[in-house]
Amino acid sequence: MANATQTALGRANLSTGTGYDGAGNKYELYLKLFSGEMFKGFQHNTIARDLVMKRTLKSGKSLQFIYTGRMDAGFHTPGTPILGSGDPPVAEKTIVVDDLLVSSAFVYDLDETLAHYELRGEISRKIGYALAEHYDRRIFRAIARGARAAHPVSATGKVEPGGTQVEVGALAADALDSTKLVAAFFEAAAVLDEKGVSQDGRVAVLSPRQYYSLVENVASNALINRDEQGTGLQSGQGIMSIAGIKIYKSMNLPFLGKYGTNSTIDNAGSFVGTDIEATVTGENNAYGSATSFDASCGLIFQREAAGVVETIGPQVQVTSGDVSVIYQGDVILGRLAMGTDYLNPAACVELFADASADAAF
C-alpha cells in the first residue's frame, strides 16, 4: 500500500522542513496557547521593618534620638547635704529621611486590550517587592554599620559600649560551617549580655545557605525544635533559636559583598558606589558600598540596634482621568520615603568570615 500524502496544515508556504524551529518549522502556523501561569521574579521575604524601631515623621526632615549615659552612686556622709552627684552624659543621633524612592511602569491601553493575560496586578506586586527589598537592604546595612561604631556617649569615665564584630572563621567558606556558626552565636549572646542589652527582641539574620546549613546539621548541634517534624522541618522551619536568639533568613542580607547568596548570582549594581565613602544621589544616610561588606556574613541584633524614620510609607498609586486620556494608558507607581541608621551600637553584632573584619564607614 502506498504512503499517504500529508496535508501540511502547520507548515508555512508548503515548507518541507522537519524541525521545530527556524525556516523549516513544521509547526509554525499552529497557535501558541497561554498556559495561565506567569513565572515571577524573585520574591524576597522582607522582614527587617518589624525587627527594629520604626517612627513616623511629619513636618520635618529628620528625627532626633537622645542617649543618656550612666550615673554614679555613692554613700552618704551623715550631716552633709545631697546636692547631686553630676549630670548624666547626653548625646544624640539624627536619622535623615532619604529622597522619595519610586518604582513605576506605564501600561498602554492598546497593549492591555490585545494581551490575553492580566498584568496590572502582577506589576503592582512587583513594585511592592522592589520597595520592600530597598527597605530591608538599607536596614541590614545600617545594623552592620552600627556593629563597627563606637557609642555616641563617650564622656570621660562614662563611655558606653559600642558595636561588636564576631569572627566565624578566617576563610569565606567558614561562613557556611554550621559548627562555627553555632559557636559565633553563643559568643554574640555572651557579648550582648556583658553589654547589658535586653534579651527581649534578639534576632539573627542569615543567608539562606547558612540557614539550611544549620537545618542540615541539626543532629550534631541539637538545634532542632522537637515540635517541628516532616514537611515543617524540610521547609526550613525546624530551628527554634540559638542562645535565645530567633533566626531569620533573607536574600537581602549583605553577604560577602553580595546579597544573600554564595552561589553564582552577583547582583551587579545591587551595591552602589566604588569605595567605602561613595554616596548615591537621593541617599542622605551612609549605607556603604559593596566593598564595605566583603567579609560580612550575618547579623545578630536587638530591636534597639536601628531606627527607621518614615514620612511616606509604602504606597501604590495609579493615574486616571485626563492623564489616562492624554497618554492612553496608566502609570502604576509605588513610592516610599524613609531613612534608617543604627541607634544603639551595643545592640549590633556583625558576623564575619575573613582574616580581619570590614572597617567602619
Q: What is the pLDDT of residues 204-259, one digit of tens each?
A: 999 988 988 888 776 555 565 545 555 544 454 445 688 889 999 888 888 888 88
Position 60 scores a pLDDT of 81
Is 357:350 a contact under the CB 8 Å cutoff?
yes
Position 273 scores a pLDDT of 35
Position 6 scores a pLDDT of 65
| Tally of residues, the chain | 361
Its pTM stands at 0.82
pLDDT digits (tens, 9 = 90+) for 298-352: 999 999 999 999 998 888 888 888 888 888 988 988 898 999 999 999 999 999 9
Least confident of 41-55, 187-201, 297-311: 41-55
Average pLDDT over residues 8-29: 67
Domains of the chain, residue spans: 51-71+88-353
CA gap 178, 24 in Å, rounded? 55
DSSP string of 237-285? --B--BTTBEEEE-TTSEETTEES-SSS---TTSS--SSTT---TT--S
Position 139 scores a pLDDT of 95
Q: Which CATH architecture has domain 51-71+88-353?
A: Alpha-Beta Complex (3.90)
Position 5 scores a pLDDT of 64
Q: Which helix (H) or strand (E) holds 301?
A: strand 296-301
Exposure on the CB side of residue 77, measured as CA atoms within 13 A: 3
**Residue 264: pLDDT band with limits 50, 70, 90:** very low
Average pLDDT over residues 145-166: 91
Residue 32 pLDDT > 80: no
